[in-house]
Amino acid sequence: MTKRAANYSTIFTTLFTGFFLVLSPLFFQAQNTLELIAPLDIPLILSGNFGEFRGSHFHTGIDIKTQGVEGFPVLAAADGKVERIKVSPWGYGNTLYIKHSDGSSTVYAHLQSFSPSIQDWVRVRQYKGRVFSIDLSPTVDFEFYAGDTIGWSGNSGSSGGPHLHFEVRDAQQHPVNPLHWDLPITDKIPPEVGDLKVIPIDSNGLEKREIAVDAKAGDTTLVKACEVHLGVWSIDRLDGASNVCGVYSIDVEVNGEQYFSCTIDTLDFAVNQDMNAHVYFSTWKGGRKSVHRFNKLPGDRLPIYDFLSEKNLEIMVDSIMKVDVVCKDVNGNSRAKSYILKGDDSLPEYICKGSESSRIVTKLATPYAVTDLRLEGVDVHIKRGALYDSEYVFLEVFDSLEFEIGSWDVPLKKAIEVSYKLSAVMPQDLWVARSVNDKGDVSGAIVCKQEVGRLDFKTKNMGRYKMERDTVPPRLLPKHSGTPVVKNGDLIFHIDDAVSGVEKIEATMDGQWILLRWNPKKKEAIYKASDAVHEKGSKVKIEVVASDAVGLESKWSGYVKMK
Backbone angles phi, psi at 166, to 5 degrees: -125, 130
**Residue-range domain boundaries for the chain:** 5-180, 192-344, 360-469, 475-561
SS (H, E, C) 33-59: HCCCCCCECCCCCEEECCCCEECCEEC
b (16+ CB within 10 A) / e for 251-261: bbbbeeeebbb
Say how many residues make up the chain.
563
Q: Report the SS3 class of residue 113.
A: strand
Which residues of the chain register pLDDT less than 50? 1-30, 351-356
- Homologous superfamily in CATH for domain 5-180: Glucose Permease (Domain IIA) (2.70.70.10)
> Which helix (H) or strand (E) is 434 found in, with range?
strand 431-436
The H-or-E segment that residue 451 falls in is: strand 449-451
CB proximity list for 391: less than 8 A, separation 6 or greater: 206, 364, 365, 406, 407, 410
pLDDT tens digit string along 370-404?
Answer: 999 999 999 999 999 999 999 999 999 998 899 99
Write down the pLDDT at residue 66: 99
Q: What is the pLDDT of residues 100-127, one digit of tens each?
A: 999 999 999 999 999 999 999 999 999 9
Residue pair 226/297 in contact by the 8 Å Cβ criterion? no
Beta bridge partners of 558: 542
Residue 482: per-residue pLDDT: 65
CATH superfamily of 475-561: Immunoglobulins (2.60.40.10)
CB 108 within 8 A of CB 94: no
| Helix/strand/coil (H/E/C) assignment for every residue in 502-530 | EEEEEEEECCEECCCEEECCCCEEEECHH
Which amino acid makes up residue 1? Answer: M
Q: pLDDT value at position 489?
A: 78
pTM of the predicted protein model: 0.91
Longest dimension (CA), the chain: 87
H or E segment and range at residue 374: strand 371-375
CATH topology of domain 360-469: Chondroitinase Ac; Chain A, domain 3 (2.60.220)
Residue 8 is predicted with a pLDDT of: 35
Report how far residue 421's alpha carbon sits from residue 464's, in angstroms, rounded to the nearest whole number.
17
Q: Given this model, what pLDDT does residue 67 score?
A: 98
| Closest of 53, 122, 120 to residue 88, by C-alpha | 122
CA distance linking residue 395 with residue 404, whole number of Å: 6
Among 407, 411, 177, 436, residue whose Cα is nearest residue 297: 411
CA-wise closest residue to 26 among 103, 106, 107, 108: 103
